[in-house]
Amino acid sequence: MAETATHSGTAVRVYDLHKSYREGAHALEVLHGVNLDIARGDLTLLMGPSGSGKTTLLTIMGLLMKPTSGRVELLGRDVTSLDESALPALRRRHVGFIFQNFNLLGALNAAENVEVVLGLQGVRGRAARKQAMALLDQVGLADRWSHLPDEMSGGEKQRVGVARALASQAELILADEPTGNLDSRTAAQVVDILRHLAHTENRAVLVVTHDLGLQEHADCVVRMRDGTIVEPHDGVAA
């Protein structure tokens, strides 16, 4: 029987979001009044051509950048006007990131890479190793815990990246082209893991991707063009 999403509120919501950059005497507007909710318990794909504003939107939702105007709510709290000094603690507690280039520490094995994130949560020593092993088991890498990044395939490295994001206990997981360096079969496996975790752990997972083949794995697909949302709809995952 196919698993189904369990919804329990909105993880992040943006209202009338605008973002502009200065280019000499001119302003380049990248986002034009975006409104979007990302629900817990869902895997949401954010799709669109290069330059459509996807990564800028994801960066603002992850509290790495402030909008020019508009509002951002994280777990029901308006965080738009918070001082920059307050944002790192919010990111550590509530937002997990997964990157296309993995961002693993080359001198550390898979378990140690996960333990670094656990250490930021105050979990260290034997407790950290136990949790790291459990997280690696969740993503199918229990037997690869001692391997360095150079000894792992692209798909294995990305699954370590997923385990690192989960180690943060974040309610919101943001992934920027996490399958861009993977073949189609491995990409589907990684996205299936993310979908399963969204459903079983009630996390909100937002994936920026160009890969049309991933749509069948999503609960919701949002399309952007020229800095606006043009097509939000339910996915066809079953």
Quote the pLDDT of residue 233: 62
Which domains does the chain carry? 11-234 (3.40.50.300)
Q: CA Rg, the chain, in Å?
A: 18
Yes or no: say if 34 and 229 are a contact pair by the CB < 8 Å rule. yes
Over residues 137-148, the pLDDT tens digits come to 988 999 999 999
DSSP tag of 83: -
Separation between Cα atoms, residue 155 and residue 106, nearest integer Å:
16
Phi, psi of 147 (to 5 degrees): -85, 140
DSSP string, 13-76: EEEEEEEEEEETTEEEEEEEEEEEEEETT-EEEEE--TTSSHHHHHHHHTTSS--SEEEEEETT
Quote the pLDDT of residue 234: 61
Quote the pLDDT of residue 4: 46
Quote the pLDDT of residue 238: 39
The angle at the Cα of 100, spanning 35 to 27, to the nearest 5 degrees, equals 45
| Residue spans of alpha helices (H) in the chain | 54-61, 87-94, 110-120, 125-138, 154-167, 184-201
Quote the pLDDT of residue 8: 58
Quote the pLDDT of residue 5: 47
Separation between Cα atoms, residue 195 and residue 44, nearest integer Å:
9
Quote the pLDDT of residue 237: 45
Those residues of the chain that have pLDDT short of 70 are: 1-8, 232-238
pTM of the model: 0.87
Quote the pLDDT of residue 25: 75
